[in-house]
Amino acid sequence: MIRTLKDTTSSDVDKELAKMREETGIRTLGRVLTLVIMADMGHSERAIEAAIAASHEHPCRIIVHISHDPKAANRLDAEASMGGDAGASEIVVLRGWGESAHASESLIAALLLPDAPIVAWWPHSLPDCPADHSIGRIAHRRITDSARAEVPWDSLNELRKRYTPGDTDLAWTRLTLWRIQLAAVMDEPQKHRINKVIVEGSEKSPSVLLLGTWIGYRLGATVEIRESPQPRGLYRVTLCRDDGEVTIYRPGRNIATLSIPGSADQQIALPVRSLAECLAEELRRLDPDEVFGEVLNEALSRSEVRFTQGSAPVPAGDPSDYTEVYDA
């Protein structure tokens, strides 16, 4: 069910949602949180699709604010969806002009679920300071995506400077499966010291820099980051030990090869994670991500990792395999 409201207010939208619940027979909300998305005009569809998919695991009210001309006369249009394609969520898309072009607490206050956590997500643009944003101040978690920035190192440094507990970034979330596999290798009883770490991937991917920083900080080892000529994110990590190299190498998007000296190579599942999967992971935990904060505040501030010229290129494959340079 979809309702469109022109030149409206958030209070009127909330009343319309109540009418829609009555008509559909939904008497209780059953929503565990409110997800507020600050989307860029013309780029909101993918973020909404990811939020709907994530809502099957975390039923929520999704509020999407799309900014239009801030110099135009003040006006707010809305579209409310419930059931059907909305998944396990209620979706409110707000399109604002004039003063309503700026996402703020006062603009969405009437739509917030009572006594439910609030998660703020900027899927496209990095705010100056998420915690100082009008909606960021009331949010339990604040999600950004530094992969959208032109220079990953600069974007990560900006995140570090303005970091507040509760902040997180999808460039870090994309690394979860890589970190699980690497932690398993690094946590094994070691007879051989790891002297150096080589991380290979796209210079456009902040995930590559974050992983190198995390490993170097955890192991106290020198880290070299090699640039890949392929339009990809992360694809190979090498731990250089006295007895040889431990390597996790993923040339495609799903299967990686784990090579350990003295053992046969293993094929492991290491799929590229979708936007919906990354968002769902962030919605599972509403407490601060302490490891991410430590990597930003402690490791990144004294990290000296930089990109160097790559060695062997990634084998050529189907170009459709490499649709996003920030894939991890």
**How confident is the model over 151-208, as pLDDT tens digits?**
877 888 899 999 999 999 999 999 999 999 999 888 776 667 888 999 999 888 899 9
The answer on 122 and 217 residing in a single domain is no
Tell whether 168 is covered by a domain. Answer: no
The SS3 assignment for 138 reads helix
Which residue numbers in the chain have pLDDT < 70?
26-30, 84-88, 189-191, 229-232, 302-326
The strand order across the sheet containing 266-269 reads 266-269, 255-259, 244-249, 234-241, 194-201, 222-227, 307-308
The answer on 316 and 181 residing in a single domain is yes
The answer on 83 and 34 residing in a single domain is yes
Q: Is the separation of the CB atoms in 87 and 56 below 8 Å?
A: yes
CA distances from 328 to 142, 189, 208, 275 (A): 21, 27, 8, 11
Name the domain boundary from 127, 144, 161. Answer: 144
Helices (H), the chain: 10-24, 44-55, 105-108, 152-161, 170-173, 176-186, 206-219, 275-284, 290-294
The answer on 138 and 33 residing in a single domain is yes
pLDDT of residue 227: 84
The answer on 134 and 183 residing in a single domain is no
Residue in the block written with tokens 């596999």: 181
Closest by Cα among 168, 203, 140 to 159? 168
The answer on 56 and 7 residing in a single domain is yes
Q: Is the separation of the CB atoms in 247 and 258 below 8 Å?
A: yes
pLDDT of residue 322: 31
pLDDT of residue 328: 74
Q: CB neighbours of 142 closer than 8 A, spacing ≥ 6?
A: 119, 120, 121, 122, 130, 131, 133, 136, 164, 166, 167, 168
Q: Is the separation of the CB atoms in 98 and 20 below 8 Å?
A: no
Q: Is the separation of the CB atoms in 144 and 127 below 8 Å?
A: yes
Q: Is the separation of the CB atoms in 212 and 184 below 8 Å?
A: no
The answer on 211 and 317 residing in a single domain is yes
Cα separation, 321 vs 323, whole angstroms: 6
- How many domains are contained in the chain? 2
Tell whether 161 is covered by a domain. Answer: no
Tell whether 154 is covered by a domain. Answer: no
Cα separation, 103 vs 135, whole angstroms: 7
Q: CB neighbours of 225 closer than 8 A, spacing ≥ 6?
A: 198, 199, 200, 201, 208, 209, 212, 305, 306, 307, 308
Burial of 135 (0-12, 13-18, 19+ CB in 10 A): buried
Strands (E), the chain: 2-5, 33-39, 60-67, 75-82, 89-97, 118-121, 141-144, 167-169, 194-201, 222-227, 234-241, 244-249, 255-259, 266-269, 307-308
Cα separation, 171 vs 275, whole angstroms: 11
Cα separation, 197 vs 223, whole angstroms: 5
Cα separation, 40 vs 33, whole angstroms: 22
Q: Record the pTM.
A: 0.89
Closest by Cα among 200, 167, 147 to 323? 147
pLDDT of residue 283: 94
Q: The domain containing residue 129 runs over which residues?
A: 2-144
What letter would DSSP give residue 243?
A: T
The answer on 237 and 129 residing in a single domain is no
The answer on 91 and 39 residing in a single domain is yes
pLDDT of residue 314: 37
Closest by Cα among 233, 239, 251, 225 to 313? 251
Name the domain boundary from 90, 120, 144. Answer: 144
Q: Is 180 left (phi over 0), alpha (psi -120 to 50) or beta?
A: alpha
Structure tokens at 296: 């930003």
Q: In residues, how long is the chain?
A: 328
The answer on 193 and 116 residing in a single domain is no
Tell whether 24 is covered by a domain. Answer: yes
Name the domain boundary from 124, 144, 164. Answer: 144
Residue in the block written with tokens 């991500």: 289
pLDDT of residue 82: 86
Tell whether 313 is covered by a domain. Answer: yes
The answer on 187 and 82 residing in a single domain is no
The answer on 13 and 134 residing in a single domain is yes
Tell whether 293 is covered by a domain. Answer: yes
